[in-house]
């Protein structure tokens, strides 16, 4: 099922603060959150969905323009089958439940990732949810499911090659799964690990990185504000010098 709405690329604004910001999050630590409570890992994933709901609301309230979250990586197929099945079921359940609230909050939903291996009913639901929220303009939420940064670069390059197009930076950016949003300004990873785990490899070339020791289900509004405060204290130079930045301010 293809959505009839066009993918429209959001334009980047130089206005400061959270307005027009794109935040990407590696939501890590659900399993450890559950383990600390002697609960099954899937209970941690369920709490992870709750944390995501809160985070979406908090970001929309702060006028964040785009939020992109890593929900299931290409490598997560390596987990035990029952955990993989539970994660796929959770996505289906969350979709059925969350679309009305996304509409209330003006959130447009996209999925990024390889949909091919997902069950057909889920692929249809993903497309339906994208269509059902396509008119929303307040914030764009991209859920990366069965997503890998390497997969993304390869699928984009293969698409350009099949069309006989030259592979330039602009063309490749436009063929990636996140072509509808500008590159993330801030990449947050919860759960204490200091790695990217094959997330947005191309798009995070100049993102500010922020690592939190909090496990994802515990990442609340205050933690988000701490991350935003840390981001605001950074100087984004894009290869220039501090003196150049001060002159152009």
Euclidean distance between CA atoms 98 and 60, whole angstroms: 15
- 221: tokens are 């509004």
Among 20, 21, 24, 28, binds Mg ion (CB under 5 A): 28
Structure tokens at 186: 């801030």
Can you say how many angstroms the Cα of residue 236 is from the centroid of all Cα atoms in its chain?
21
152 binds Mg ion (CB under 5 A): no
- Interface characters, 77-106, with ligand IPE (x: CB under 6 A): ----------x-------------------
Residue 72 binding Mg ion, by CB under 5 A: no
Cα 76 to Cα 43, 82, 94, 212: the distances in Å are 17, 12, 19, 21
- Which range in 27-35, 66-74, 111-119, 164-172 contacts Mg ion by CB under 5 A? 27-35
Which candidate, 202, 196, 209, 158, places its Cα nearest to that of 179?
202
Minimum CB separation of residue 192 from ligand IPE in Å reads 9
Instruction: From 142, 30, 26, select the one nearest 79 (Cα to Cα).
Output: 30
User: Cβ atoms within 10 A of the Cβ of 186, count?
Assistant: 22
Q: Which does residue 87 bind out of Mg ion, ligand IPE, none, counting CB within 5 to 8 angstroms by kind?
A: ligand IPE
Assess whether 76 carries a catalytic annotation.
yes
Q: What residues from 17 to 56 belong to the interface with ligand IPE (CB under 6 A)?
A: 26-32
The verdict on 111 binding ligand IPE (CB under 6 A) reads no
Q: Tell me: does residue 185 bind Mg ion (CB under 5 A).
A: no
* Nearest CB to ligand IPE, comparing residues 136 and 146: 146
Per rule CB under 5 A, count of chain residues that contact Mg ion: 1
Which CB, 136 or 142, lies closer to ligand IPE?
142
By CB under 6 A, residue 149 contacts ligand IPE:
no
Are 46 and 90 within 8 A, CB to CB? Answer: yes
Strands, E assignment, the chain: 22-26, 66-73, 107-112, 139-147, 186-189, 208-211
Q: Which listed range, 26-34, 57-65, 76-84, 160-168, lies at the site for Mg ion (CB under 5 A)?
A: 26-34
For residue 22, which phi and psi values (nearest 5 degrees)? Answer: -115, 120
Interface residues with Mg ion (CB under 5 A)? 28
Interface residues with ligand IPE (CB under 6 A)? 26-32, 70-73, 75-76, 87, 191, 193, 195, 197
């Amino acid at each position: 099922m293809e959505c009839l709405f066009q993918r429209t690329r959001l334009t980047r604004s130089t206005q400061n603060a959270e307005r027009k910001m794109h935040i990407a999050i590696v939501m890590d630590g659900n399993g450890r959150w559950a383990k600390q409570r002697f609960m099954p890992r899937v209970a941690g994933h369920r709490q992870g969905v709750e944390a995501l709901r809160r985070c979406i609301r908090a970001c929309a309230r702060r006028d964040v323009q785009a939020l992109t979250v890593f929900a299931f990586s290409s490598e997560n197929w390596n987990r035990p089958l029952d955990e993989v099945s539970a994660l796929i079921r959770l996505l289906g359940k969350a979709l059925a439940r969350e679309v009305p609230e996304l509409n209330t909050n003006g959130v447009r939903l996209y999925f990024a990732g390889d949909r091919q291996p997902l069950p057909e009913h889920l692929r249809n639901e993903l497309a339906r949810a994208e269509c059902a929220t396509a008119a929303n303009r307040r914030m764009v939420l991209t859920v990366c499911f069965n997503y890998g940064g390497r997969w993304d670069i390869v699928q984009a390059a293969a698409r350009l090659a099949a069309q006989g197009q030259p592979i330039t930076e602009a063309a490749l950016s436009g063929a990636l799964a996140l072509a509808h949003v500008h590159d993330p300004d801030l990449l947050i990873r919860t759960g204490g690990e200091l790695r990217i785990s094959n997330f947005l490899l191309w798009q995070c070339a100049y993102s500010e990185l922020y690592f939190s020791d909090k496990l994802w289900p515990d990442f609340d509004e205050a933690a988000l504000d701490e991350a935003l405060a840390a981001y605001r204290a950074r100087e984004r130079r894009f290869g220039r010098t501090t003196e150049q930045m001060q002159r152009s301010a």
